[in-house]
Structure 1
Amino acid sequence: MASLDNTGWSVPGLLVALLLVFELGVLRICGLEVTTGKVSRVEAMNGSTVLLPCNYSSCIGIYNLYFSWHYNDNGTMIKLCDGVVPSEGVEPKVKVEHKRVEFVGSSKSRDISILLWNITFEDDGEYTCFAKNPKEKGRNHSTIFTLRVVDEMTVIDNTLTVIIVSVLAGVIGLVIIVMIIKALVVQFLLKDDEKNKECLVNASGNDNTENGLTGAKADNKGTPKA
């Protein structure tokens, strides 16, 4: 008969519960995650080619990782491509379902990015990168990348930045000049002080010598002749 603790839990039941909590915690912390990196939004010109980035990660590892890209067309999700990564380091089998889409990812870098060629204004919108890992009991994750298609790129006015950088450079240059002048003045004063000390020492030695000779002459004159 299984023993019970004060809460009424059996020891095996408590161990199973602890293991379940631990497993869920590990999956939450180290489980599958997909990301577009530091940039989740890009602005591109009509007719250009744009990269839609996506990377996956999992400290638990993957097995038959399924991934897909979808475009949100006013609420209707249109599949662009999908594929399966059999295991770590094995290149995926990809099925592309859009004539202007090219898969450029690699399992070696855990990359499932795609290229969208010759974009038009109809391509403007949100793109979802989705992944599912059977090794983590079907855990899945997704991320959204936003594409804005424009006639011309937005010109960023850097006038204020240039002014600030110029002022800072001027202030730093002025500080450096002041420090150099200060160092030169201090060096000049030290040399002048050393010269003054040498003059004082020489003058003091000359005075002592002259005083000694005068005293000797005085002593000679004061000695009576026999």
Structure 2
Amino acid sequence: MAHSSRVTPPAGRPSGDLLHVTVGLALLLGVWSVGALEVSTGKVSFIEAMNGSTVLLPCTYSSCIGIKNLYFNWHYNDNGTMNKLCEAVIPVEGVEPNKVSVFHDRVDFVGSSKTQNISILLWNITFEDQGQYICFAKNPKEKNRNHSAIFTLYVVEQMREVDNTLTVIIVSALGGVIGLVVLVMVIKAVVVHFLHKDDEKNKECLVSSSGNDNTENGLPGAKGGDTNKATPKA
């Protein structure tokens, strides 16, 4: 009677089905990460502004698979207490939100879904406004995928003066070097010009001297009379 035997994969090596499932999950996660919603406050995540001025708190969103009923809001982190500044819902890409709810009397929404912009303005800032501002968004089209970014505001009495001494020194040095190079090129051109004239004069002198030597030696083409000329017959 024949006995059937089942081959068990070696320990530490996944079976074929498990391997296929693992590869499939990796591919799905890769696609998900590519199309995932992201919000950004730009390359610089902070700003330093004077007391009493108006500042822009920037934020943009992006999603490779698009949005639907994208929810966003802004919060201010007041020593651990999150104070909501505004919120709204963007129906679809390129359509402005029907209503932006603002919960702060010195905040204005200045973004536009046409440019994927959900930035706000903060008017007449005070030292109490200093701190972290959080931009948050959630996209139901990506199974409520959400993302947030932090923008930090520093409030000062007056802006710091930038010391441009080193910059002035560098620019002056470069200007001096460029001026010196131009001067050298001009002098070189003048010298070459005069040397060229001297060469022409030397050539003229050589030609003239050669003509005089031929005349004195009675060579053909000389202007002097022929001493061997026959005496005319009577």
1:9 alignment partner, one of 4, 13, 16? 16
Deviations 1:149-187 (A, max 9, x none): 111111112122222212221221122112221122122
1:69 alignment partner, one of 74, 78, 86? 74
Q: What is the total number of aligned residue pairs between the two structures?
A: 218
Q: Which amino acid aligns with 2:164?
A: N
Distance of 1:207 and 1:132 partners within structure 2? 105
* Unpaired stretches in structure 1, ≥5 consecutive residues: none
Same amino acid, percent of matched pairs:
68
| Larger-Rg structure | 2
Aligned to 1:153, the other structure's residue is in SS state coil
Asked if 1:171 is matched to 2:177, the reply is: yes
Q: Indicate if the aligned counterparts of 2:111 and 2:117 stay in contact, CA closer than 8 A.
A: yes
Q: 1:95 to 1:191 in 2, by over 3 A?
A: same
More helix by share: 1
Structure 1 residue 26: Cα displacement: 3.0
Deviations 1:125-148 (A, max 9, x none): 011111222222332222111101
Structure 1 residue 205: Cα displacement: 3.7
Q: 1:180 to 1:28 in 2, by over 3 A?
A: farther
Q: 1:59 to 1:193 in 2, by over 3 A?
A: farther
- For 1:47, the equivalent position in structure 2 comes to 52
* Unpaired stretches in structure 2, ≥5 consecutive residues: 1-8
Deviations 1:11-69 (A, max 9, x none): 9x82x654432232233244322212232111111111111011112222222222111
Show the 5 A alignment for 1:1-226.
7-10=14-17, 14=20, 17-92=22-97, 93-211=99-217, 212=219, 213=222, 217=226, 220=228
CA RMSD for the aligned pairs?
2.7
Q: Which amino acid aligns with 2:56?
A: L
TM-score (norm 1): 0.84
Deviations 1:95-151 (A, max 9, x none): 111111110000111110000111111100011111222222332222111101111
Aligned to 1:86, the other structure's residue is in SS state strand
Distance of 2:160 and 2:177 partners within structure 1? 32
